Amino acid sequence: MSVLNLNNASKLYYGNTEAQKVYKGDRLLYPVPNVGVLDLLSLSPSLWLDANDNSTITLVSEAVSEWRDKSGNSRHAIQSMINSRPIIGTMNGKTALGFNGVNYWLSCPYDLNNILPFNVFLVTKGSGPFLNSDYEVSPPRGFIINATGLFGRYTTSGSFLQVPYDNPLSGSVGGIINLFFDTNLVTPFVSGVQNSVSQSYDPPLIHGTFLEIGAIIRTTSTYYNGVLAEIIFIPSILSLETRNKIEGYLAWKWGLVDELPTNHPYKTQKVVLS
């Protein structure tokens, strides 16, 4: 099958008639939209894991022993147990990390105790818990992020936090999850759409000295089945424009533009890193 590269097209014709615009659904393909630029490092990310950057992946016998942090903070995700290492997978044609839902997971050192407020962005496709903050039942504290919502425990009485997403991710398509943790309120965004419900919580929800990626090991030994593509932590409040630009960057990079709402400012304008 032949492929038409519209990025190199100065003019496009249908028969003898010059085309003015070409759409795929409501997405403008031609003329190629102007490109937005994101300087991600200027936002001082505290953690940045990017599976499509091969230089950050260490393979041993075709399994991932280390996923290195690009933020400059050396919070590398590792797995020393050979049989628990994830493998290389794909997400819409790009390299991602594959988790089998049985025993694959990574541990990432991260002191979460004093980082509020913060944003976490995740690009994922699958089912089960893909990130948790050293979740514990006794004492009750910590949060779990999966494809359908945010869950956690956060007081000595065992109060349970549950914030289901309005539009849970499809296991076959995937998407972008952004959770904004303010000092006592968490707000989810799924592929550019803000959840209709935010949820208050007490600070013990945000605790721990490491993240578990792809599993809940300490309590239930529950594992993620799917792929993880990119994880970004930014310990600050973001403007709407910055949040939109990060969503745009992730959507265009990982083939998820169709998942953005029609009114998203980067639905038709590509975003690249500076």
- Quick: pLDDT tens for 136-150: 777 778 888 998 999
pLDDT score for 100: 96
Instruction: Kindly tell me if the per-residue pLDDT of 26 is higher than 60.
Output: no
Per the CB < 8 A criterion, the answer to whether 213 and 77 are in contact is: yes
* Alpha carbon distances (Å) from 160 to 123, 190, 229: 25, 22, 29
Count of other CB atoms within 10 angstroms of residue 64: 21
Per the CB < 8 A criterion, the answer to whether 267 and 256 are in contact is: no
Instruction: Kindly tell me if the per-residue pLDDT of 1 is higher than 70.
Output: no
Instruction: Kindly tell me if the per-residue pLDDT of 10 is higher than 70.
Output: no
For residues 84-108, average pLDDT = 96
pTM over 0.95: no
Nearest CA among 95, 125, 106 for reference residue 213: 106
- In this structure, of 32-36, 59-63, 102-106, 177-181, the range with the lowest mean pLDDT score is 32-36
Q: What is the CATH number of domain 37-253?
A: 2.60.120.200
Among all chains, which residue has been given the structure tokens 């038709």?
A: 268
Per the CB < 8 A criterion, the answer to whether 202 and 178 are in contact is: no
Within 13 A of 222's CA, how many CA atoms are on the CB side?
A: 13
Locate the domains of the chain by residue range.
Answer: 1-32, 37-253
- Give the chain's length: 274
Count of other CB atoms within 10 angstroms of residue 34: 8
